Every structure is written in structure tokens, then in C-alpha cells.
Amino acid sequence: MRRFLLLCVLSLSAHASQVIDLSGSGWSFKTTLDTDHRPVTVPHSWLLEKETQRYIGHGLYERDFDLPSLPAGKIARLHFDAVYDVAEVWVNGKRLGRHEGGYTPFEFDITKLARVGRNHVVVDVDNTPTLTSIPSLSTGHLTTDPWPEFDTAKATIVGWLPYGGIVRPVHVTIGDAIYVENVKIDAIPNLQTGDAAVTVRARIRNASANTAAAHLDGTVAGLKTSFRPARINSGDSKVLTWTATLPKAHLWSVREPYLYDAELHLGEEVFRSRIGVRKIEVRGTELLLNGRVVHLNGANRIGEDEEEGSRESDAIIERDLTDMLAANMRMMRIAHYPQTEAMLRFADEHGMLIIAEAGNWGMSSWQIADPDIRKRWKLQMNEMMEMDWNHPSVIAWSVGNEYESYKQEGKDWTRDMRSYTLSLDQTRLVTFADRYTGDPSVKTGADDASQFSDFVSVNVYGNYAKAFDHVHQLYPDKPVFITEFGKMTDAGLHDPERIANINEAMTAVKARPWIIGASLWTWNDYRSFIKGTPSNGIRSWGVVTLKRERRDSWKAVQELFKGDLP
């Protein structure tokens, strides 16, 4: 089956009439084990501090902030770029609400609670992984019996640190009560004519007390937009759509990541971005970008810095991804969770291909069959997609990693979540990272959930040639991408065992044209609480250390990952 995916991207940035930055100093913090608050700087993660470096539980953040008098027709929105993992927020003693998911932005309308002058915000943050959170404690694939019958003592924490805290910036936006909630821009390039059909979908919200008119205009790739004015009822949202043809579109590619400018206006707000036009498709066992066959490799990257933890500044992102590019890392399932805007912007600007994944990590069959877990995952997947779906670097959505795909519940999950994902965005491929293609029960492709993937993604550690060939026997008409491979060795810079392992894997990859690429686990060492982590708390899977020192394997990967850019 051949399916075409066509994309233009808008990485949206909003410039409102006033933004009050709440990052930096001015915050106080304490855990449930502390008597007194202590001053902290936000973004903040308590696992970076000696007193709380292994603390799992609730942390309480507070600060005062000043607001001016709001002009008529204006509202105030309290915005968090990310809080790990569950946040409950109060302003001036009134509860605003709750948000789950440690990697995606959220906000609350605080207009009715705001005072002229001094205001007070409290954020209760919980980083406790549970059997029903996302990411969840993994049951280790030991049983299909539901909790509480399950022996919770055998549950496994996720492989990366559950960084607790307000881990990304915070601000208050003062702007019009009619505002843009989200924008999606698709462009369908015709590779024969060179033109692209452009569609802009802008979701506008009316937070005022009355029905109001929305007037949206601007330019996209040099084309003047002409949205029809719309009347939106109080408290409702409406999608405004505009279509046009972009003649002789300059395509975005790995070789030449060309980006156009886009700018939209709604009242006093201006939304600016850079957009790329490209076409991705699966044809038989090939992955094509703008009609050219893709064979590229990369690495998974755990988003943490030795000093900053998960507080990933633009400078940290640029440092890390520049090193990955230097090692010829171009295509990857980069992590098990949503990425920062800065990371995807870098990928857009430098021609990297990303498989984006939301937190279904190692769930057992009873977990992925649970209705509440399914609902919770859909919400987080939706948030990730709306945050990322306008980046040309994102070529596929992953619906999970190493869940029990060989069981009926795993097949049901993959089929259903594929359908859900495509209901939100039909411009990308859908896959998941499979670890069960080698299970004795998987004798044909119909025995495993990868039958529902546009391309098969597999995690393989050792015995590479045999494992790869078995996957191809199961799915002879699908491309295969290796989402994980590699070896954890000691912490030194000289790592001949890892080099030998990577050489074995890449020799097998290059001998099989139906393998479209491989993503090393991992580019960097990372801290973890998971069982089997060395006493220093660091899992040394990386070709660079936690301090970003290059191991001998970095140079080996640089040579092995060389290839033609599509």
C-alpha cells in the first residue's frame, strides 16, 4: 500500500501587547519533607539539588507578581512551558486547575482572579510515577492482571530521571480576549509541476463575555492570506481556513533545509514563523523524501545536562545537536517524550528528520487496555502533536515504545491510536518502537502490532543480522527503521566493546536496502533510577559522556553514519 504524506510547517511564536516574565528569581520552594521554603530560580528541578536529588513526591512553588490594570477587551493568561509531571495551580488562593504531562505547555485564564498590583501564584508539582501515569511505572511485562492484584514491588520506573519541578519558563500574557489557540499549515507539493497547495487552519478562541468577530490576515511564503471574518460565541473556538497555491515552491530537504517566512495578524497580536514545504512517502520498502530514497542514521538523546538537568536552554540544545550533526546523526526517534521548541527549530534549520513519540513506555497489556490510561495518553499525544505538527523535521508520530505489541491488547492499541493520530494529522507517517518481533508467538506479521505501522520500527540489541532478517520476513513489503541499538559499557572514554557492537549493527544495516536507517541508543550518557544503573547513577550508553566528552565510539559512529543526503 502506498500512502503520500505532504507537509508545510509553522513553528508559531506569539507577540502580544504585553508579556510579564515570571522566570528567574522570586520563587520559593519546599517539598513535603521540608519545614520552610527556600528561594529558587525557575526553571528549576529539585533532582539537581543535593538535598532532594532522589526525592519523588510533591514540591510546592510560590511567588508574587504584579499586574497592571487590564484595559477593556484584554485578558491575562498564565502560561507554563512545561512542569514535570503533574501540576496543580492556584492564583490568589483560588484553584485554576490541573495539568498532567511534563513536556508540553499549558495555560490558564486568570483574568477574573487577577488583581491590579500584587498577585500570588502557587504551583503544586508531583513527579511520582504510577501504574496509570504517562509515562508510567512499567510492570515489566509480567502479567495481564490489573492492579491492584499486580505485585507493585516488581514495577519498574522509566529509564530516565523523573525530573520534578517547573522545568521550563513561565510568563503571563496580557492580550486580546480573541486570540489564536493553534495554527496548522499544510502544503501539498506536486513534484511534477513544482507547485504546492497551501492550507492554513487557525483555531481562534473567544474568551470574552460576548459574541465577537475575528479578523485574521497575514502572509505565508509571500502569499497574502484572506481569511473570512468569523463571529465566535463567548467561550467557544472556531477554525478559520485559507487555501492557496504556492507556485514553484522551494522544497525543504535534508540537503537544503529551505524555510519560508510566515506572519499572521489577529488584532494586536503578530505570529511569526519560518515554514518548510516537503513531501514524505512510503513506497514498498522505501522511504522517500521529495521523491528521493532516504537511508539516514541518528541517535536517541536523553534531554538532560549535567548542571541544568532537563532545563534545556537554547544554548544547550545548540551545543548538543551541533555535536550530533558533526557525527552525521540525521534521522532518529530522538526520545520517548515531547521535545522542546528549540530542539525542533534546530532540526528544521539543519535538515534533521525526527520521529516524535509521546510517553507510552513499556506498558503492559492491561495498562494499554485501561480506558482511563487510553484517555490520558490521547490528551498528551494531542498536546504534543499540536505543539510539533508544524515542524518539517517531524516526519512520523510514534504511538509508543516497547509495549506488549504481540498481545491482542497491543494490536488493539496500535490500530486505535494510529486511527486517533491520523484523525488529528494525516500529513505524517505512524509507527511505534517494537521489541516483540522476536517473540516465539510472532510467526507472521499478523501476530504483531507492527502490521499497523507505515514503517516497522524495532529495538534490537545484538545478533543483528538474524534479528533484522526475521523482521523482514514478517513484513517483506514495509520499510524497517532501527529505533534502538547499541551497548552500555564502562564509563571510560575508550570503549572497544561498544565500537564492535555498533560496527556489527551497521554492517548488517548497510547490507539490507529495506532498512531505511538506525538510531543509536544513545548519543549521551544519562542519569537514572532504573534497576541496573551503576552506583554513580549514570547509565553509560552514550558516545559522549554526561559532561559531553567524546568517546572513541563517537569517531567510529561519525564514519559509519556517513551517507548521501536526499
**Does 201 reside within a domain?**
yes
- What would the 3-class secondary structure string for 428-489 be? CEEEEEECCCCCCCCCCHHHCHHHHCCCEEEECCCCHHHHHHHHHHHCCCCCEEEEECCCCC
Q: Are residues 221 and 308 in the same domain?
A: no
Q: Single out the residue in 281, 305, 339 at which a domain terminates.
A: 281
Q: Are residues 404 and 538 in the same domain?
A: yes
pLDDT, tens digit, for every residue of 50-65?
Answer: 999 999 999 999 999 9
CATH no. for residue 86?
2.60.120.260
Report the 10 Å Cβ neighbour count for 372: 8
Q: Which of 328, 432, 416, 347 is nearest to 388 (CA)?
A: 347
Q: Single out the residue in 281, 311, 339 at which a domain terminates.
A: 281
Cis peptide before 135 (omega within 30 of 0): yes
C-alpha cell at 378: 490521547
Instruction: For 498, list phi and psi in degrees, rounded to 5.
Output: -65, -40
C-alpha cell at 199: 492550507
Q: Check: CB of residue 322 under 8 Å from CB of residue 550.
A: no
- Can you give the pLDDT at residue 376? 96
Classify burial at 491, counting beta carbons within 10 Å of its beta carbon; exposed 0-12, middle 13-18, buried 19 or more: middle
- What would the 3-class secondary structure string for 307-348 be? CCECCCCHHHHHHHHHHHHHCCCCEEECCCCCCCHHHHHHHH
CATH no. for residue 235?
2.60.40.10
Cα 39 to Cα 53: distance, rounded to the nearest angstrom: 17
Q: Check: CB of residue 64 under 8 Å from CB of residue 22.
A: no
Ranges of the chain with pLDDT below 70:
1-16, 139-154
C-alpha cell at 443: 510467526
Cα 314 to Cα 509: distance, rounded to the nearest angstrom: 33
Q: Which of 390, 480, 477 is nearest to 427 (CA)?
A: 390
Q: Are residues 351 and 375 in the same domain?
A: yes
**Does 149 reside within a domain?**
no
Enclosing domain of residue 272: 3-15+178-281
What is the pairing mode between strands 196-206 and 237-246?
A: antiparallel
- Can you give the pLDDT at residue 11? 38
- Can you give the pLDDT at residue 146? 40
Q: Are residues 185 and 311 in the same domain?
A: no
- Can you give the pLDDT at residue 153? 54
What is the pairing mode between strands 106-109 and 178-189?
A: unpaired
pTM: 0.95
Q: Are residues 321 and 273 in the same domain?
A: no
**Does 249 reside within a domain?**
yes
Q: Are residues 204 and 298 in the same domain?
A: no
Cα 427 to Cα 276: distance, rounded to the nearest angstrom: 13
**Does 494 reside within a domain?**
yes
Classify burial at 100, counting beta carbons within 10 Å of its beta carbon; exposed 0-12, middle 13-18, buried 19 or more: middle
Q: Are residues 365 and 464 in the same domain?
A: yes
Instruction: For 295, list phi and psi in degrees, rounded to 5.
Output: -135, 95
The count of domains in the chain is: 3
Q: Are residues 100 and 238 in the same domain?
A: no
**Does 71 reside within a domain?**
yes
CATH no. for residue 408?
3.20.20.80
**Does 143 reside within a domain?**
no
Cα 133 to Cα 379: distance, rounded to the nearest angstrom: 12
Q: Are residues 431 and 542 in the same domain?
A: yes
Q: Are residues 381 and 399 in the same domain?
A: yes
Classify burial at 498, counting beta carbons within 10 Å of its beta carbon; exposed 0-12, middle 13-18, buried 19 or more: buried
Cell 509571500 found at: 222
- What would the 3-class secondary structure string for 497-517 be? HHHHHHHHHHHHHHCCCCEEE
Q: Are residues 259 and 399 in the same domain?
A: no
C-alpha cell at 494: 575508550
pLDDT, tens digit, for every residue of 195-249?
Answer: 999 999 999 999 999 999 999 999 999 999 999 999 999 999 999 999 999 999 9
Helix (H, G, I), strand (E, B) or coil at 145: coil
Give the DSSP letter of residue 197: E
**Does 289 reside within a domain?**
no
Q: Are residues 232 and 300 in the same domain?
A: no
H or E element: which one contains 375? helix 371-388
Q: Check: CB of residue 76 under 8 Å from CB of residue 109.
A: yes
Q: Single out the residue in 168, 199, 231 at which a domain terminates.
A: 168
**Does 141 reside within a domain?**
no
